[in-house]
Amino acid sequence: MPWFTRKEKGIRTPTEAKKELPDGLWYKSPAGKIIHMRELKKNAYVCPDDDYHVRIGSKEYFEILFDNNEFEELDEEISSANPLEFVDSKPYPERIKASQKKTKLKDAVRSAHGKINGLDLVIACMDFSFIGGSMGSVVGEKISRAISYSLEKKIPFLMISKSGGARMMEAGYSLMQMAKTSAKLALLAEAKVPYISLLTDPTTGGVTASFAMLGDFNIAEPGALIGFAGPRVIRETIGKDLPKGFQSAEFVLDHGFLDFIVDRRNLKRKLTSLIKMLKEK
């Protein structure tokens, strides 16, 4: 059910393009391959036949990265307010409560401190299942606090982005999070505390235009959609047809906006190597 419908023009704007994880015991990949969920989990939620990276959330990333899935969650009780008293098909607070009940999350990002291969790391990970991973005040605040924790403890910071962009129900308050998080990352850079940004499918809008592209290393998963505006908006703005796959991680890498692409099955090992290298520097 879309959260917003422009009836006069017949435009419908959904917040859920696809589920982060499939229901049931079996998963069918876009290529038509069938795999048991147990095997998919063992393979870091990557289809073994075609290396398709299934969209996952913070719960799964924490399981993959943190040693023994042990971590201390940060600021877990923060929840969105309604500064603009926004109402579309339902009041914003009701939409937040419905999303919280459905996803068992407080908002579209979780942050935690733990160890990967014995090395301290702070991770902030976005969840697309919560209103399309949209960036509201809580998302910006939790990321900023996670950066502050990294700064205070001198611990490397990993941002896992997965978002449809700014949360329009908060309008200007949402856009302010771009400057807020970027300013915090500038302090992290001054203190020479490593920051690694992982862009996953999809990373778009104001998230791409701020903290997602400010890492000491900007890395991505294979096939991830990365961009700012949608293809139709860009085409209408510049008046030209766009190259095929121009918003894929591979295209973005070829044009110099990423440092490398990493398979999720190798992510923990790659991050460990990067952290060791950056800490030595």
Q: What average pLDDT does the segment 263-280 reach?
A: 94
Q: pLDDT class for 23, splitting at 50, 70, 90?
A: low
Query: Angle at Cα 54 formed by Cα 255 and Cα 95, nearest 5°?
Result: 100
Q: What average pLDDT does the segment 101-108 reach?
A: 96
Domains of the chain, each with CATH number or no CATH: 57-280 (3.90.226.10)
The CA distance from 277 to 101, in Å, is 41
Q: pLDDT class for 280, splitting at 50, 70, 90?
A: confident
**Token output for 26:** 């079996």
Residues in the chain: 281
CA atoms in the 13 A half-sphere facing the CB of 228: 9
Three-state secondary-structure class, residue 218: strand
pTM: 0.89
Q: What average pLDDT does the segment 231-246 reach?
A: 85
pLDDT at 5: 46
Q: What average pLDDT does the segment 227-251 reach?
A: 88
- Digit-coded pLDDT (tens) for 76-93: 999 999 989 999 889 999
- Digit-coded pLDDT (tens) for 136-173: 999 999 999 999 999 999 999 999 999 999 999 999 99
CA 202 to chain CA centroid, Å, is: 7
The secondary structure element, H or E, covering residue 220 is strand 217-220
Please tell me whether the peptide bond between 202 and the residue prior to it is cis, using omega within 30 degrees of 0: yes
Q: Is the pLDDT of residue 31 over 70?
A: yes
Which residues, at least 6 apart from 193, have a Cβ–Cβ distance to it below 8 Å? Answer: 150, 151, 154, 155, 156, 157
Mark out the alpha helices in the chain (DSSP H runs): 37-42, 58-65, 92-103, 137-153, 171-190, 205-208, 231-238, 249-254, 267-280
Q: Is the pLDDT of residue 20 over 70?
A: no
Q: Decide: 52 and 201 in contact? Cβ < 8 Å.
A: no
The CA distance from 189 to 222, in Å, is 27
